[in-house]
Structure 1
Amino acid sequence: MDNTVEERLLGSEAEVPTDLKRRIWVESKLIWRIASPSILSRVTAFGMIVVTQVFLGHVSELDLAAYALVQSVLLRFVNGILLGMSSATETLCGQAFGAGQYHMMGIYLQRSWIVNVVTATIMVPFFIFTTPLFRLLGETEAISVASEEISLWFIPIFYSFVFAFTIQMYLQAQLKNSIIGWLSSFSFILHILLSWIFVIILDLGVAGAMGAFNIACWLSIVGEFVYIFGGWCPNTWKGFSTAAFIDLWPVVKLSISSGVMLCLELWYNAILVLLAGYMTNATVSISAFSICLNIVAWEFMIVRVSNEIGKGNAKAAKFSIKVILCTSITIGVIFWALFLAFGNKISYWFTSDEEVAEAVSSLSTLLAFSVLLNSVQPVLTGVAVGAGLQGIVAIVNICCYYVVGVPIGILLAYVADLEVQGLWIGLLCGVLMQTTVLSFIIWRTNWDDEVKKASERLNRWYLDSPEETN
């Protein structure tokens, strides 16, 4: 990495290149150095969910539908809460690193662990009483009963999310997340191997598929602990501290606003999966809709706004947004074209059931446009997280998803009799409206004001490092 990039990453006052091509080149190098390991981590982490779905799809159609329901509703519910609350770690660590308050990053990480472990424990009953919960929601008896065995296997998995999400954001803020990419890639390969051995060779069915999932998830977490505690983050990790229990309430408030923002987005998909369960052929509808959601969720992009805001660099933050948007849209257009050309063949990767595969294929065109739209929306959400605008985005999500998207999906699915296609059109309408509103909000945002707010927040929560105290 050249000196200019290194200096900007470390928050120096080095002069930023004035030539536009040079600025774009430097910004792109920064983005991809940060983004590549994170993209790899998210793709492989979500890939483990999809791989498990693939192996269960070849066990039985009922197990596939039960897994799809638990994963798309309950796991997405908890995942939304934990990922959203962990985005507070991204905001605080990113801004602390930009401001040079390195030792505070380890304290913020520990505070996030405390808050998220308590939150995850509150969620456990949902996975213990899955059958009566799905009966109450009106799902079929067979799927409700089959889902209970699968849901219990998910409890250790979502506890691993507590550490996976927060550690990734902690390391990403200081440009040390390459280790996450390596660990997640190794875990993903191991997961495929274990799934094949447990399900295909040993014929362990659901227990084999979910057991492989658990082993792979926790293996990467152990590796991350070794990396942090082993001395590879000397400036930001000073050991466990009682300071982690101080000023928890501000972290809780920021975590809650972050959690609500992301939950409203992820629950939107979960509600539509539930609605698919009320259709004539519930098993096929749930499986097809879940497969399509998982394909769309594989596309991901991040933005490094929080570091520039922490350094007091509003101009660089705005330039970063422009570069990452252009990059992400370009990628989205490529995938949009690929899905238009080959979308009807993708379904056979996930299931050998012809009826489910045909249902997925019928959504291939809508799926292509979802991928295109998804190349913009995550970037805008990432900008909001970096700037600490989670509360505003939560309100936008309520209006766009639940006032617009869900009602349109219900009308088209049940009144216009479009079934799964109708639900997906409703989903698209909600995401399109959210993207439009967020684009307007970010365009109107005064980034100089956001820099001032970030500085005030960091100074208010600042604690002396052990070296400064001594």
Structure 2
Amino acid sequence: MEHEHKKPLLSEDNTVHDLVPIESLDDGDIREINSVADFFREFFSESRKLWYLAAPTIFNNVAIYGCGVLTQIYSGHLSTTQLAAISMENFVISSISVGLLGGLGSGLETLCGQAYGAKHLDMLGIYLQKSWIILNSVAIGLVFLFLFATQILNLLRQDPEISVEAGKFARMMIPQHFAFAMYVPLAKFLQAQSKVLEMAGIAGIAVCLHAISGWILMMKLRWGLFGAALVLNSTWWFIVMCPLLFVVSGYCGGAWSGFSWKAFSNLFDFFKLSISAALMICLEMWYVMAMTLAAGYLPNPKVSVAALSICMNINGWSGMVGIGFNSAISVRVSNTLGSGHPRAAKFSVIVVGATSFLFGFVVASILLLERKRFPALFTDNKQIQLLVEDLTPFLGVTIVLNCLQNALYGVTIGAGWQNLVGYINAACYLFLGVPLGVLLGFKFDMGIKGIWYGLLLGLFLQAATILLVACNKNWEVEADTVRARLKLLGKM
């Protein structure tokens, strides 16, 4: 088959862009499928490409997420109040900034992936700098969340003791807040070029250092919240500085040609796609925040919040695998659309959907079989352990839906459908999931289980709707849209 992506691409002024060959990930469009054997041939071929991207990204995500989980595990063996405080800061205060900054960074994921597929390598570095400007500007505006966390939680009528401790911890976590604003664009920039092995290696070193230093400061020296903050901040800036040095030292070739004043031009056009992505992701992350807040209103809030945080952490572990699929399919869809191979993009959706669903099902089955044992890993409190055990079936269903949904998110990011998915999320979560959860949890006295029913409804409807959209899209038209978008943004 002729490799179309090796042909030089002329810009509007008839100059040839410097090209870097895409490693054998994009071998053109898929071949005709006329039999079951043809289907499985293409399925395994596409699976190989997805896992090439997904496996290192999954390891990277699990390692980084593991730093936070290890901190919570250490705190859970020190004090129920400290565990609840870290959980409240993580799932309420930080989730607002992480959702917004992570969503804004997803706009970069769309543009870098499509530009790389179309061989406009010179645009990637400019996009990266635009994203840094936007995310750090927003991060400055969000600092008040961390400075006034106690007052915000008190205003939301959370447990006073938890609010005070969570506020202390939030103020100490401001350095991590800015590290995240730097990391998200770096990660998207490197993922678009399939440079994922290096990121996985950095994350592996980081989690090992974090585990050792956290154990010393929190378990041996008993530094509590201060020790947790010191270790987390140090780990996150290590994770940022290593890839940053790779990029600015010329490691990415034509994708980075140094800092440029062009990064300040037409920021609003770039921001529009970024804010659509942010709203898409924030609606889901803020639903988890709403669940945590609602748990704080239940009887015995320390136990409820702590149990929910353990479940959400386990869901987060599996979600890191889902996010690995998310990143891989985003790169595959954006690269294939950018290089003019719409049939390959559509087939990638089928492969990633089946793979992510199967993974979620296996993880959920293991949790159900081990539901009497695993809660003891997170806490010594018997009440919390029993509540986590009782919530495990809900957790299992959530994991299955979350894995599928994360993969489908990657499809929407790669194709640039953030606006549409923002509306879908609003309908599924704000207008259906949240009201049902509140109604069942408080009106019908179902407690945390009722709140969780609302989450499951939102997840199911959202995943089903995005899947229907993806199956019914005209992918040839989507490829034309990508070319038009790159032409427009190429003038920025």
TM-score with structure 2 length normalisation? 0.90
* From 276, 281, 284, the counterpart of 1:257: 276
C-alpha distance after superposition, 1:334-365 (max 9, x if no partner): 11211121133222121111111111111011
Listed one character per residue, the Cα deviations across residues 92-132 of structure 1 (whole Å, up to 9, x for unaligned) are 00000000001100110010000000011110001001111
For residues 61 and 25 of structure 2, what CA distance do their matches in structure 1 show? 27
Q: Aligned match of 2:448 in 420, 424, 427?
A: 420
Please, what is the CA RMSD of the aligned residues?
1.9
The alignment status of 1:355 with 2:383, answered yes or no, reads yes
Specify which of 192, 196, 199 is matched with residue 173 of structure 1: 192
Count of aligned pairs: 462
Structure 1 SS opposite 2:372 = helix
- Among 360, 365, 387, the alignment partner of 2:393 is 365
Give the distance between the partners of 2:292 and 2:5, measured in 1 at CA. 44
Paired position in structure 2 for 1:123: 142
Residues 10 and 98 of structure 1 are in contact (CA less than 8 Å); yes or no, is this contact kept in structure 2?
no
* Distance (Å, rounded) in 2 between the aligned partners of 1:305 and 1:58: 44
| 1:63-96 Cα shifts (integer Å, max 9, x gaps) | 1111111110111111000110000110000000
Partners of 1:435 and 1:54 in 2: CA distance:
31
**Equivalent of residue 70 in structure 2, options 51, 71, 83:** 51
Q: Which amino acid aligns with 2:436?
A: I
Once the two structures are overlaid, the 10-residue window that deviates more, 308-317 or 454-463, is: 454-463
Which letter does structure 1 place at the counterpart of 2:300?
N
The answer for unaligned runs of 5 or more in structure 1 is 465-470
- Helix, strand or coil at the partner of 2:195: coil
CA distance in 2, matches of 1:14, 1:312: 9
**Residue identity matched to 2:451:** L
How far apart, in 1, do the equivalents of 2:349 and 2:448 lie? 35
3-state secondary structure, aligned to 2:162: helix
Contact 2:112 2:127 in 1 (8 A): yes
1:409 corresponds to: 437
Q: What is the TM-score when the length of structure 1 is the normalising length?
A: 0.95
Alignment correspondent of 1:271: 290
Distance 1:179 1:366 in 2: 36
Q: CA deviation at 1:21?
A: 3.6
Q: 1-side partners of 2:427 and 2:142: how far apart?
A: 26
Query: Is structure 2 residue 173 aligned with structure 1 residue 146?
Result: no
Aligned AA (2:407): V
Tell me, in whole angstroms, the C-alpha distance in 1 between the residues paired with 2:191 and 2:408. Answer: 18
Do structure 1's residue 226 and structure 2's residue 254 form an aligned pair?
Answer: no
Distance in 2 of aligned mates of 1:290 and 1:141: 18
Q: Deviations over 1:183-219 (max 9, x none)?
A: 0111011111000111122221111122111111111
Q: 1:75 to 1:328 in 2, by over 3 A?
A: same
Which amino acid letter does the alignment assign opposite residue 325 of structure 1?
G
The SS at the match of 2:421 is helix
The partner residue of 1:157 within 176, 181, 186 is 176
Which amino acid is the alignment partner of residue 56 of structure 2?
P
Please say if residues 58 and 351 of structure 1, whose CA atoms lie closer than 8 Å, have aligned partners that are also in contact: yes
- Runs of 5+ unmatched residues, structure 2: 7-20, 33-37
8 Å CA contact retained: 1:11, 1:99? no
Tell me if the contact between 2:29 and 2:344 (Cα under 8 Å) persists in the aligned partners.
no
- Does 2:84 align with 1:65? yes
Q: Is the CA contact 2:100–2:281 (under 8 Å) kept in the aligned structure 1? A: yes
Tell me if the contact between 1:120 and 1:162 (Cα under 8 Å) persists in the aligned partners: yes
Query: Retained in 2: the 8 A contact 1:65–1:287?
Result: yes
Residue pair 2:125, 2:255 contacting (<8 A) in 1 also: yes
